[in-house]
Amino acid sequence: MRAGIKPRRESDEDGAADRAAELAALRAIVDDLDYGIVVLDAERRVRFLNRAFRRFWNVPEAIAAERPTFVKLMYHGRGSSAYAVDQHRLGNYVEKQLEAIRKGDDAPLNIRLTSGATIQFRCKPLPDGGRLLTYGNVSDLVRQAEALELLATTDPMTGLANRRQFFKLAAVEWSRAERYKRPLALLMMDIDLFKSVNDTYGHAAGDEVIKAVAAALARHKRASDIAARMGGEEFALLLPEAGIEAAVAAGERLRKLVAEAVIVAEGKHIPVTISIGASACDAAARTVEDLLNEADLALYAAKRGGRNRVSGYDPAVALGAVAHA
């Protein structure tokens, strides 16, 4: 054998040692990532999972060392407190992950943890039939999106839905009521003589009056009702599963609550009343806008009748009121 030439066996051993060192270095790098990483083989058994994943899902070292199937790994998650969802919803999350793994689908899936963090799951197929699963902390992005959604759908002064959001939600309720032939009613309400409140007590006091009426509306509505500030001193309340009589009764309760409320602004007690118009689905109302127009006409009748009252929509009365306006 010539000098300077290593035996083939020794060269192969050196190459294997180099590859092992490179793999160990790569594993150490992946282990330090903030992203959770899981590598599955073609049989969906865990070949590797990093520290971030173990931290996200409270996976102990002993389970990680077993090279469990992904299903077993998720069953561990079911028994831990990692997920911020109840058990029946948790199964849905797991099923969606398994479906994405089966298809090799890269569509993102967000999961909220008990810590308040939001983790985004993604799946990428590997050439050998395995899967690379990533779990990234997207909490900041989710919070920003939620904040933007809140700004786009909520009235900033009162916290109620804004006009645009009201029509969006009302359209869904209208479709449901129409499809299943269910009752649906609407209240339109307006703060009486609001301009005089601003003129007498100031605009800051006027804002406090609007907030107080909105708070009464939010506090005493049903969970299924949709409350909105439609603009200025005008509010709407959509009442699923309610006919005109139930709507008038709900309006009367709200009217009394506001009339009896103690509203103090700028150190002064401000007497406040509201007028309310009620309408309900019938043969004449074909759209949400029709329902809103009918409630507006009823509101106008309540104003003409002396204010601080509830008026149900009556075509003859409403048209007469408009004719004499």
Do 220 and 305 lie in one domain? The reply is: yes
| Same domain flag for 176 and 86 | no
Same-domain status, 123 and 72: yes
User: Could you tell me if residue 26 is inside a domain?
Assistant: no
Answer with the one of 96, 122, 143 that is the final residue of a domain. Answer: 143
CATH number reported for the structural domain that contains residue 314 in this entry: 3.30.70.270
Provide the pLDDT for residue 64: 78
Catalytic residue chosen out of the listed positions 208, 233, 234, 294: 233
Looking at the domain assignment, is residue 278 inside a domain? yes
- 189 is written with which tokens? 């309400």
Which pLDDT belongs to residue 94? 80
| 10-residue stretch averages of pLDDT, the chain, 325 residues long | 52 58 60 79 89 81 83 71 62 84 89 80 90 86 74 91 94 92 95 94 93 95 96 96 95 96 87 96 79 95 96 72 44
Question: Does residue 274 sit in the same domain as residue 198?
Answer: yes
In a domain, 232, yes or no: yes
pLDDT at 219: 93
Verify that 243 and 112 share a domain, yes or no: no
Q: Are residues 226 and 285 in the same domain?
A: yes
Same domain for 67 and 97: yes
Could you tell me if residue 101 is inside a domain? yes
| 165 and 238 assigned to the same domain | yes
On whether both 199 and 272 belong to a single domain, the answer is yes
Whether 17 maps to a domain, the answer reads no
Say if 318 falls within a structural domain: yes
**Total count of domains within the chain:** 2
For residue 273, give its domain range. Answer: 154-323
Active site residue 233: yes
